[in-house]
RNA sequence: GCGAGGGUGGCGGAACUGGUAGACGCGCUGGAUUUAGGUUCCAGUGUCUUACGGCGUGAGGGUUCGACUCCCUCCUCUCGUACCA
């Protein structure tokens, strides 16, 4: 018995070696290759050292796509690399006392082996690691160009600061408001930081979303909301007894007459100034500086505030309204100040109630009976208590009031984006050095192109305190490229989203050492035809990558007309891998190690299960029993192939043979359709299982039967090839395929095999199924009705009833609407 | 808080543009093979009901000849929320 079983351990290595030797996974750059090109990309991994099930799922999906497209006749680019900079390497370095570089390179080596065991068809000749100077030098080059264009600039921004550790903490390193290492409360601190002006591209990033027909609607929607274009007015409030002006943005200028106070951020200059001779206020501002910088925390915390003791002058009425500081106003958003209209904004309403501030209703509903006694009235409506603007509807009032402000020099119509400029500097060691030199005389100077790359020293050891780069004299000390005097290098590094924002383009030209990308290669491969990765990247990574692609285009690195302005044509966002309903994670201890599964069942079983257990975009619940089921299926197919060429004593007459052939071709059609419709591999596999079951139930008793059975077996093996490539190759060899199964042509549907002489037509009465009739596929409504009335099981439902309506859905059902006669 | 997505048997899921709900797999039950266990094979398996049949896709309402599918209200879970990647 065991001899009959398929043994993955012995065949998987064999086929992996053959694929390697034949070079079938290398994307062909040869001009003479006339196949259309197809670029399939999975989000590259962070080299944590261990391949987890999330990776396995991601790469099995991508490999199935890449292999399917090769079989469809495409010249496929399917690259892999490493997103190698980042915080975890520094954490590991602190823990193990080894430099992050050492840890990272060792992990990459380990994960290469793990990936290869899965039998993924990668073009390893294009492998990149973002921590290598030959990669990040182009990122540095790009940044210096952006500085020249004025698209990169320096500005103060808040960071999480830990005093004892003397370092900036990532949000992830702040746990319940204290430092993860020393438990000291974290507070905010301002630091000069580098930004890239993504807001200059906000409109294009928004408009080009319309091009992304191959993206899930949800991702497009999330990006649209993230960019958050809104129109409204900028309004200037004079500060009483001062030359200062408080500028605010509002989407509701129609409620301007209802302003009863102003709110500014704790870090706002007006607040800081007022606190200088107000001890109580200073304490409050200090308290505000300890709250989280996370938007979710800011939005859900208790709203607190304090009067600054100064007033602003209402631009229209000239009345004085008090200026408050409020912990929910963010300095990083807009101007760090807002006008407050408690009558028509929920948050302002709650705040006003809490602190006894005035509430002035200026909008009412059409009936004129809306009140604000218990809650804010936030809908649009008609203006009241608004002087000359009374009686205007909200929409009209927005324009009228904005116009009034404009003509009086106190404001103007403005478009505001929720999107903020991209803060790209990090106060960390393991990242791309920002290519800038600080000179006492010349200021901030970009490193000239010929001096790039600024190479990160890889031997340094982080301690958890300040970046070791700052203490590395041979790195820090340099000369000013402009005046030649002694100067210091910037010791901040780039956000790792910088590296992952352009890697998809670098793969097209991985070995190019004269430019960031090669324009011809970009034309051949870009944009990515199919991008696959986790939905957690729906906004940040995917937005930054879209932005970067446009930056590269505008830098003239490729022809935008030929390549296009978007880097990813189609996007598949895969779900997470769960165990017992929660995400598999090391910290929770609910992981399944892919290595164990591969050792026990083979890579193909692991691949088959992850593709079968859930649709790609949904979360996948891990099931050991399900894995066994996948393994059983492969065994059943393996045994099934022994029947090829054999004749049995069955009753497979001509009709049964014809039915089998129809089944084979409807299933080729269904599998192909499932592949084409969003890569629904789970549905495709179910259809292949059905085909396998149908073949298994068939016993050929003549040559015709044998031939059809063989046709079905070959189609099944061919369609399995993108999913379980080792298994399919071995089966293909067994069946005498002319080429190895993974290079075989995808089976084609023979339309003539699909034709049916008669079908089962469902008969419904009042929409409920009451029976079936056997009719010709193109039966007329009248004939179908006669056949239904002639059927005993159906006609009993028609006794004493009058048929008032007949609906025939061709090939599907007949519905009779009746009423008592 | 805000933004987005999901909820179908005991479980994972299927159902083309509104047209037979539960394909396929897991589990379970019974049987065959086996000294036994495992494996493998065969049959059954939404639920209530003796049956006829009724009821069933998170809850409630609506549109329709017909609703898992479209509309409204609500509940709930998941993801993102800008220094994790």
The residue behind tokens 């292949």 is A688
Q: Which 8-state DSSP code applies to residue A292?
A: -
- Does residue A812 register a pLDDT over 60? yes
The residue behind tokens 């393996």 is A638
* pTM of structure: 0.95
Nucleotide closest to residue A427 (CA–C1'): B83
Measured CA to CA, the distance from residue A657 to residue A645 in angstroms comes to: 15
Enumerate the nucleotides of strand B whose atoms come under 7 Å of any protein CB. Answer: 1-6, 11-16, 19-21, 23-27, 38-42, 54, 65-67, 78-85
Which of A529, A550, A299, A326 lies closest to A422 in space, CA to CA? Answer: A550
Among left, alpha and beta (phi > 0; psi -120 to 50; other), residue A728 is alpha
Which of A161, A85, A78 lies closest to A124 in space, CA to CA? Answer: A78
Q: Contact at 8 Å (CB) between A417 and A199?
A: yes
Cα torsion angle, A642, A643, A646, A649, sign = positive
> At what angle are helices A703-720 and A681-696 packed, to 10 degrees?
160
The answer to whether some atom of strand B lies closer than 7 Å to the beta carbon of A754 is no
A388 — phi, psi (to 5°)?
A: -65, -15
Provide long-range contacts, Cβ within 8 A and 24+ apart, for A591-594: A591/A52, A591/A53, A592/A53, A592/A622, A592/A624, A593/A50, A594/A51, A594/A52, A594/A53, A594/A55, A594/A56, A594/A114, A594/A118
Residues 714-733 of A with CB under 7 A from strand B: none
Pairing of the two strands A229-239 and A245-250? antiparallel
Q: Which 8-state DSSP code applies to residue A502?
A: T
Two tokens at A647?
Answer: 């004749």
Residues shown for chain A? 821
A99 — phi, psi (to 5°)?
A: -60, 145
DSSP notation for A563-594: H-S-SEEEEEEE--EEETTEE--TTTT----H
- Does residue A648 register a pLDDT over 80? no
The residue behind tokens 């070959």 is A714
pLDDT, mean of residues A129-138: 98
Task: Using alpha carbons only, give the angle A640, A646, A650 rounded to the nearest 5 degrees.
Answer: 90
* pLDDT band for position A652 (cuts 50, 70, 90): low
pLDDT > 70: what percent of chain A?
99
Residues 299-318 of A with CB under 7 A from strand B: 299-300
The answer to whether some atom of strand B lies closer than 7 Å to the beta carbon of A818 is no
Consecutive H or E run containing A100? helix A100-117
* pLDDT band for position A1 (cuts 50, 70, 90): very low
Q: Note the CA–C1' distance, A685 to B53, in angstroms.
A: 37
Position A799 scores a pLDDT of 87
The answer to whether some atom of strand B lies closer than 7 Å to the beta carbon of A557 is no
Pairing of the two strands A174-175 and A245-250? unpaired
Please, what is the average pLDDT of chain A? 94
pLDDT digits (tens, 9 = 90+) for A603-626: 999 999 999 999 999 999 999 999
Measured CA to CA, the distance from residue A263 to residue A353 in angstroms comes to: 15
Nucleotide closest to residue A225 (CA–C1'): B3
How many CB atoms sit inside 10 A of residue A796's CB?
10
A392 — phi, psi (to 5°)?
A: -75, 150
pLDDT digits (tens, 9 = 90+) for A509-566: 999 999 999 999 999 999 999 999 999 999 999 999 999 999 999 999 999 999 999 9
Position A4 scores a pLDDT of 59
- Does residue A405 register a pLDDT over 60? yes
Q: Which residues pair with A75 in a beta bridge?
A: A37
Q: Note the CA–C1' distance, A742 to B37, in angstroms.
A: 40
Residues 91-120 of A with CB under 7 A from strand B: none
Measured CA to CA, the distance from residue A692 to residue A608 in angstroms comes to: 15
Position A3 scores a pLDDT of 43
Task: Using alpha carbons only, give the angle A99, A103, A105 rounded to the nearest 5 degrees.
Answer: 115
Nucleotide closest to residue A85 (CA–C1'): B85
Give the three-class secondary structure for A151: coil
Q: Contact at 8 Å (CB) between A194 and A424?
A: yes
Helix, strand, coil percent content, chain A, rounded in steps of 5: 40, 20, 35
Tell me which of A587 and A745 has the higher pLDDT.
Answer: A745
Burial A325-349 (b: 16+ CB within 10 A, else e): bbbbbbbeebebbbbbbbbbbebbb
Position A650 scores a pLDDT of 67
* pLDDT band for position A821 (cuts 50, 70, 90): confident
* pLDDT band for position A651 (cuts 50, 70, 90): low
pLDDT digits (tens, 9 = 90+) for A88-117: 999 999 999 999 999 999 999 999 999 999
Measured CA to CA, the distance from residue A570 to residue A181 in angstroms comes to: 42
- Does residue A156 register a pLDDT over 70? yes
**Is the backbone peptide bond immediately before A453 cis, with ω within 30 degrees of 0?**
yes
Position A332 scores a pLDDT of 81
* pLDDT band for position A202 (cuts 50, 70, 90): very high
Q: Contact at 8 Å (CB) between A168 and A161?
A: yes
Residues 625-664 of A with CB under 7 A from strand B: 625-626, 628-630, 632-633, 635-636
Measured CA to CA, the distance from residue A688 to residue A747 in angstroms comes to: 13
> At what angle are helices A681-696 and A654-676 packed, to 10 degrees?
170
- Has the ipTM of the complex gone over 0.85? yes
DSSP notation for A733-745: HHTT-SS-GGGSP
Question: Which residues, in sequence order, are CB contacts of A416 under 8 Å at separation 6+?
Answer: A229, A230, A231, A232, A249, A251, A334
pLDDT digits (tens, 9 = 90+) for A655-704: 899 999 999 999 999 999 999 999 999 999 999 999 999 999 998 888 99
Burial (Cβ within 10 Å: 0-12, 13-18, ≥19) of residue A767: exposed
Measured CA to CA, the distance from residue A204 to residue A188 in angstroms comes to: 33
Q: What is the maximum span of chain A, computed from C-alpha positions, in angstroms?
A: 106
Q: Contact at 8 Å (CB) between A727 and A639?
A: no
Nucleotide closest to residue A762 (CA–C1'): B20
Position A290 scores a pLDDT of 87
The residue behind tokens 């005035």 is A358
Which residue has the least CA–C1' distance to nucleotide B26? Answer: A626
Helices (H), A613-756: 624-640, 654-676, 681-696, 703-720, 725-734
Pairing of the two strands A229-239 and A425-426? unpaired
pLDDT, mean of residues A369-389: 91
Q: Which 8-state DSSP code applies to residue A652?
A: -
pLDDT, mean of residues A759-787: 92
Residues 435-494 of A with CB under 7 A from strand B: none
Q: Which residues pair with A802 in a beta bridge?
A: A819
- Does residue A2 register a pLDDT over 50? no
Q: Contact at 8 Å (CB) between A211 and A222?
A: no
Q: Note the CA–C1' distance, A666 to B69, in angstroms.
A: 24
Nucleotide closest to residue A423 (CA–C1'): B82
Which residue has the least CA–C1' distance to nucleotide B27? Answer: A625
Burial (Cβ within 10 Å: 0-12, 13-18, ≥19) of residue A588: exposed
pLDDT digits (tens, 9 = 90+) for A772-782: 999 999 899 99
Question: Which residues, in sequence order, are CB contacts of A435 under 8 Å at separation 6+?
Answer: A140, A141, A143, A144, A446, A447, A452, A453, A454, A490
Helices (H), A301-356: 346-355
Question: Which residues, in sequence order, are CB contacts of A543 under 8 Å at separation 6+?
Answer: A198, A205, A223, A226, A227
pLDDT digits (tens, 9 = 90+) for A279-299: 999 999 999 988 888 888 888
Q: Note the CA–C1' distance, A570 to B16, in angstroms.
A: 22
Q: Note the CA–C1' distance, A576 to B8, in angstroms.
A: 21
* Gyration radius from chain A CA atoms: 34
Two tokens at A187?
Answer: 């507070």
């Amino acid at each position: 018995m065991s001899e009959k079983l398929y043994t993955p351990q012995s065949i998987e290595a064999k086929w992996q070696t053959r694929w390697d030797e034949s070079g079938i996974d290398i994307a062909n750059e040869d001009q003479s290759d006339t196949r259309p090109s197809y670029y399939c990309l999975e989000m590259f991994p962070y080299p944590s050292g261990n391949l987890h099930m999330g990776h396995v799922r991601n790469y099995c999906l991508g490999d199935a796509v890449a292999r399917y497209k090769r079989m469809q006749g495409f010249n496929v680019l399917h690259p892999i690399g490493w997103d190698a900079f980042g915080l975890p390497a520094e954490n590991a370095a602190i823990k193990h006392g080894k430099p992050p570089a050492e840890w990272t390179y060792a992990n990459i080596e380990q994960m290469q082996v793990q990936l290869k065991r899965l039998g993924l068809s990668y073009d390893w000749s294009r492998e990149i690691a973002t921590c290598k100077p030959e990669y990040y030098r182009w990122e540095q080059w790009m940044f210096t160009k952006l500085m020249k264009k004025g698209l990169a600039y320096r500005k103060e921004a808040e960071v999480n600061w830990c005093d004892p550790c003397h370092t900036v903490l990532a949000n992830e390193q702040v746990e319940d408001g204290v430092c993860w290492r020393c438990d000291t409360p974290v507070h905010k601190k301002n630091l000069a930081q580098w930004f890239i002006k993504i807001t200059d591209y906000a409109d294009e990033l928004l408009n080009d979303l319309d091009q992304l027909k191959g993206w899930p609607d949800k991702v497009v929607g999330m990006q649209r909301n993230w960019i958050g274009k809104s129109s409204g007015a900028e309004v200037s409030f004079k500060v009483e007894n001062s030359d200062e002006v408080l500028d605010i943005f509002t989407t509701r200028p129609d409620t301007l007459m209802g302003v009863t106070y102003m709110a500014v951020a704790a870090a706002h200059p007006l607040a800081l100034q007022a606190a200088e001779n107000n001890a109580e206020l200073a304490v409050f501002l200090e308290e505000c500086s300890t709250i989280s910088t996370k938007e979710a925390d800011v939005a859900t915390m208790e709203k607190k505030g304090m009067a600054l003791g100064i007033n602003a002058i209402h631009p229209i009425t000239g009345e004085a309204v008090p200026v408050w500081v409020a912990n929910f106003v963010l300095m990083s958003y807009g101007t760090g100040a807002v006008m407050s209209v408690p009558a028509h904004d929920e948050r302002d309403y709650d705040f006003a109630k809490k602190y006894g501030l005035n509430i002035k209703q200026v909008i009412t509903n059409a009936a004129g009976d809306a009140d604000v006694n218990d809650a804010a009235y936030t809908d649009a409506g008609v203006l009241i208590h608004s002087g000359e603007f009374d009686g205007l509807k909200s929409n009209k009032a927005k324009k009228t009031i904005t116009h009034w402000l404009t003509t009086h020099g106190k404001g103007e119509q403005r478009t505001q984006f929720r999107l903020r400029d991209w803060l790209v500097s990090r106060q960390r060691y393991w990242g791309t050095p920002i290519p800038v030199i600080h000179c006492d005389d010349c200021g901030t100077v970009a490193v000239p192109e010929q001096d790039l790359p600024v190479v990160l020293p890889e031997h340094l050891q982080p301690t958890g305190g300040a970046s070791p780069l700052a203490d590395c004299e041979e790195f820090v000390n340099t000369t000013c490229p402009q005046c030649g005097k002694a100067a210091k290098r910037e010791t901040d590094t780039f956000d790792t989203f910088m590296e992952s924002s352009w890697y998809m383009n670098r793969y097209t030209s991985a070995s190019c050492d004269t430019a960031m990308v090669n324009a011809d290669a970009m034309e051949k491969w870009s944009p990515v035809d199919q991008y696959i990765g986790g939905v957690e990247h729906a906004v940040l990574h995917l937005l930054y990558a879209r932005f970067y692609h446009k930056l590269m285009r505008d830098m003239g690195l490729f022809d935008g007309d030929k390549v296009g302005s978007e880097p990813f044509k189609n996007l598949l966002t895969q779900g997470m891998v769960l165990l017992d309903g929660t995400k598999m994670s090391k910290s929770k201890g609910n992981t399944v190690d892919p290595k164990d599964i591969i050792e026990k069942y083979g890579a193909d079983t692991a691949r088959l299960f992850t593709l079968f257990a859930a649709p790609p975009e949904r979360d996948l619940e891990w099931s050991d029993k399900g894995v066994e089921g996948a393994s059983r299926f492969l065994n059943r197919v393996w045994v099934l192939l022994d029947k090829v060429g054999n004749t049995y004593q069955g009753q497979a007459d001509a009709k049964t043979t014809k039915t089998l052939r129809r089944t084979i071709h409807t299933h080729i059609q269904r599998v192909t359709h499932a592949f084409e419709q969003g890569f629904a591999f789970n549905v495709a596999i179910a259809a292949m299982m059905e085909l396998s079951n149908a073949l298994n139930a068939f016993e050929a008793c003549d040559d015709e039967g044998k031939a059809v059975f063989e046709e079905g077996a070959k189609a099944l093996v061919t369609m399995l090839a993108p999913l379980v490539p080792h298994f399919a190759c071995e089966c293909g060899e067994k069946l005498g395929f002319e080429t190895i199964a993974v290079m075989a042509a995808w089976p084609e549907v023979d339309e003539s095999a699909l034709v049916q002489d008669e079908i089962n037509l469902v008969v419904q009465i009042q929409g409920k199924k009451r029976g079936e009739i056997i009719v010709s596929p193109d039966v007329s409504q009248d004939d179908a009705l006669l056949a239904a009335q002639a059927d005993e099981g159906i006609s009993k439902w028609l006794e004493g009833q009058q048929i008032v309506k007949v609906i025939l859905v061709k090939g599907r059902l007949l519905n009779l609407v009746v009423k008592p006669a």
